[in-house]
Amino acid sequence: MQDQGYRLQFTSSKIEDLMYRTTFDPKSGDGDLIVNLSLFREEDLEDVLNIFKTTISSGLAVSPYVKMLHCGDTIAGYRIEEGMAGIATVCSITIDGILLKSGVLVKPHFGGLVQIRDGMPVRFTDVLRYASTTIDPLEVLMSQEVTSVTRMLRTGSGKILANLRGAPMIAREKVESVLADMMDAGISGILEVGEPNTRILDVSVERDHFGIVVIGGTNPMAVVQESGIYIRTNAMSTLIGIDEMRPIGEII
């Protein structure tokens, strides 16, 4: 009666699959990145791109690289419908994929909301662990309408989407060097790198590990949604070669 094919897919297993498939090399600047796919009405294209540009240039995203999608384009087996447009943006789990491929046993723990006060991250206020949910935490938080990314952009205080991973303390220098290479290659979004055996944004880490908090790639989408424009996001959707993407500043 039981069908083996029916087992639940938790977000963590989807993440492990995408991390393994990440081939982006921060030294050469080539390879495939994990992307979030967002769909919106074509008539909102200019508004959406303007919001993305502002949010990304304020540092509330992982990378300026995006890929535009228009009616008829196909991505991850999905065809953009008539009257709609899409944008693929870099997902923060790309950073986990790059760290894994550099030999670091990095473990993505959860997605959540980080409270920012006067420009400083204070603490996680809500979290959902990847190993325990079949629905992507950042999609969950966006649909709960609990973000205040727009307010954060205007006043320096608000709640933004972010996520936490842990890495063994022995790999700390390697992690810092890879993160520096990533920055040079246009992949950033690091909110905080913790000290070993020390809480990070009020969350504990595994013994002899340290935490890394990365800004959610879905913050620009949260700003679009907060402004009342319809947008539907499929986080951790697929992988795209960076050669297919362009910095948003070159598009608008």
- Contact residues: a copy of itself, CB under 8 A: 2-3, 6-8, 110, 112, 123-129, 131-135, 139-141, 143-146, 199, 202-203
Residue 166 tokens read as: 């842990």
Q: Per-residue DSSP letters for 111-125?
A: EEEEEEETTEEEEEE
Tally the residues of the chain.
252
For a copy of itself, which is the closer residue by CB, 31 or 108? Answer: 108
For a copy of itself, which is the closer residue by CB, 17 or 145? Answer: 145
C-alpha 201/C-alpha 213 separation (Å) is 8
For a copy of itself, which is the closer residue by CB, 120 or 252? Answer: 120
Smallest distance from a copy of itself to CB 127, Å = 6
C-alpha 157/C-alpha 48 separation (Å) is 22
C-alpha 109/C-alpha 194 separation (Å) is 14
C-alpha 57/C-alpha 50 separation (Å) is 11
Sequence-distant (≥ 6) Cβ neighbours of residue 90 within 8 angstroms: 33, 34, 35, 36, 61, 62, 63, 65, 66, 187, 217, 245
Smallest distance from a copy of itself to CB 214, Å = 18
For a copy of itself, which is the closer residue by CB, 51 or 141? Answer: 141
For a copy of itself, which is the closer residue by CB, 68 or 127? Answer: 127
For a copy of itself, which is the closer residue by CB, 190 or 203? Answer: 203
Smallest distance from a copy of itself to CB 146, Å = 8
Smallest distance from a copy of itself to CB 130, Å = 9
Buried b (16+ CB within 10 A) or exposed e, 224-245: bbbeebebebbbbbbbbebeeb
Question: Are 181 and 144 spatial neighbours (Cβ–Cβ below 8 Å)?
Answer: no
Sequence-distant (≥ 6) Cβ neighbours of residue 13 within 8 angstroms: none
Smallest distance from a copy of itself to CB 168, Å = 22
Smallest distance from a copy of itself to CB 192, Å = 13
For a copy of itself, which is the closer residue by CB, 20 or 230? Answer: 230
Smallest distance from a copy of itself to CB 210, Å = 16
